[in-house]
Amino acid sequence: MIPAVIILFGNGCGEIGFQIQTDSLSSELGGLGNGFCESELQKVYAKTYHPFLVANCNQCHGSAQGSVDVGISFSAFQQRGVSLIDSRSVTAHGGNSLGPQMQPQINAFKPTWNEGQDSYIDCKSRQGPGGPQVTGIVLSNKVITTLPPLPQGQTTTAWSNVQWDLEVDVPPGSPVYPMSLSIDVRSAIVNGVAQGLQFRNPSVKVKSLSETFLIEGLQVLLNDQVLPEVSTYYYLVGKAESLNYFNLAPLSADAFYYRPGLVLPFNLSLKILGLTATGPYQAPPTTTLPVPTTTVPGLPLPARITFAELTGTDPNLNVFAASCVGCHRAGNMAGNLNISDFSQAFAKADAILARMRGMGNIMPPSGPLQQRRIDLVNLWLTSGRPQN
């Protein structure tokens, strides 16, 4: 049995925000499931970033990080990451009152947030049965000697893809795994100047379907130091069960690390917070599944549904319009996804449905949809994802 550990978090006003008691972590914490660590971190968020973002970002981002609903705000915050939120908070934009004068407010609650984030990672690493079997896997460094320059007249640079083979790119004497990880990296351009790094598309593939894995959380390391600002991928949960690279965070925003004057070359690595072997790949049934029936009496599912209806005005059909486009539309593309655009919704349909069913951070962040609403999206997929 692990001794009890009490971690106290203050709210900056001499008042205790909350406490985590991890008595007998091998049984109680494991029994609470993977959501326990996230729920405790959200409590820290409610005492630190949330009041600040509501006060300063609600007007433009009321359906995302500026929402008064702490769950919606926290989900958007997770997708964007600490570094991006911090940088935007001290940079005037959109006609608001944000700017460098906000830095003292952030500095006041930052130590509490950092302590809570460290405790979250520790919590994830010590989950019992059903949690990660292997934790803290640091991959070997990849030396980044060059990054694509900024083309004349452009505002962004090209991406570079960095890959790790987990049978080769691990420290000497470490276990090896028949899988590969990759991530895209480029210079983060702010006002035409490189101000650090930008990351996207953490992806994984296995070498054989005889072994698959569950990955829970990634950290980015620069010159052997974890970048705590790049928190976007701390919370991802994904399966390595494809022979082709599969994006572990398809709905997450790009991750940013702001560091003006970053010098090349530098060492880049990833740390896997949790890895669980899940056995051979189990192919889904090849038979056509029946269309689920509605759980709402008197309101059956239609025989067919189109994208136009999902984004339309009929309240019995417009799942995307009512529950998704508030955060995923042109001009407010949370997770770089515009669900009001047919081509994007078509390409991401499987991931959208998976998130609605509770895989990873459930969508919408306000809470699960009624089963009939999820069934309508599933019907759209099984109908071939028609546009009209």
Supply 61's token pair: 């981002």
**pLDDT for position 49:** 92
Contacts 24+ apart (CB under 8 A), 30-39: 30/127, 30/128, 30/129, 30/130, 30/131, 31/128, 31/129, 33/130, 34/124, 34/127, 34/130, 34/131, 34/216, 34/237, 36/123, 37/120, 37/123, 37/124, 37/127, 38/120, 38/235
Q: Between 340 and 34, whose confidence is greater?
A: 340
Q: Which two tokens stand for residue 154?
A: 């452009």
- pLDDT value, residue 127: 54
Distance (Å, whole) CA 385 – CA 376? 11
Q: Which pLDDT does position 360 carry in this prediction?
A: 53
User: 162-166, 248-252, 260-264: which range is least confident on average?
Assistant: 248-252
pLDDT reading at 156 higher than 70: yes
115/4: higher pLDDT: 115
Q: What percent of the chain has pLDDT over 70?
A: 81
254 secondary structure, DSSP code: P
Dihedral, 80, 86, 92, 95 alpha carbons, nearest 10: 50
Tell me the pLDDT of the chain averaged across its residues. Answer: 78
Q: Is 90 exceeded by the pLDDT of residue 185? A: yes
Q: What is the pLDDT of residue 36?
A: 65
Q: Cα–Cα distances in Å, from 36 out to 126, 170, 283, 365?
A: 12, 30, 30, 17
Helical axes 49-61 vs 82-89, angle rounded to 10°: 70
**Average pLDDT estimate for 191-197:** 87
Condensed to tens digits (0 to 9), the pLDDT of residues 254-277 reads 788 888 889 999 999 999 988 888
Rounded to 10 degrees, the C-alpha dihedral 294/298/299/302 comes to 80
Band of pLDDT at residue 95, cut at 50, 70 and 90: low
Q: What tokens does 104 get?
A: 């003292």
What is the value of pTM for the model shown? 0.58
Residue 356 has what pLDDT? 85
Mean of the pLDDT values across residues 378-388? 88
Please check whether residue 219 is in contact with residue 177, taking contact to mean a CB–CB distance below 8 angstroms: no
Ranges of each domain in the chain: 6-125, 134-279, 307-382
Q: Comparing C-alpha atoms, which of 133, 146, 287 is closest to residue 213? A: 133
Say if residue 357's pLDDT is above 90.
Answer: no
> What percent of the chain is modeled with pLDDT above 90?
26
Q: In this predicted structure, what is the pLDDT of residue 9?
A: 29
Per residue in 97-133, pLDDT (tens digit) is 778 898 999 999 999 988 888 887 777 666 544 444 6
User: What is the distance between the alpha carbons of residues 62 and 64, in angstroms, rounded to a whole number?
Assistant: 6
Q: How far apart are the C-alpha atoms of 54 and 47, rounded to whole Å?
A: 12
20 against 335, higher pLDDT: 335
How much is the average pLDDT of 304-312? 93
pLDDT at 291: 45
- Asked if residue 195 lies in contact with residue 259, where contact means CB atoms within 8 angstroms, the answer is yes
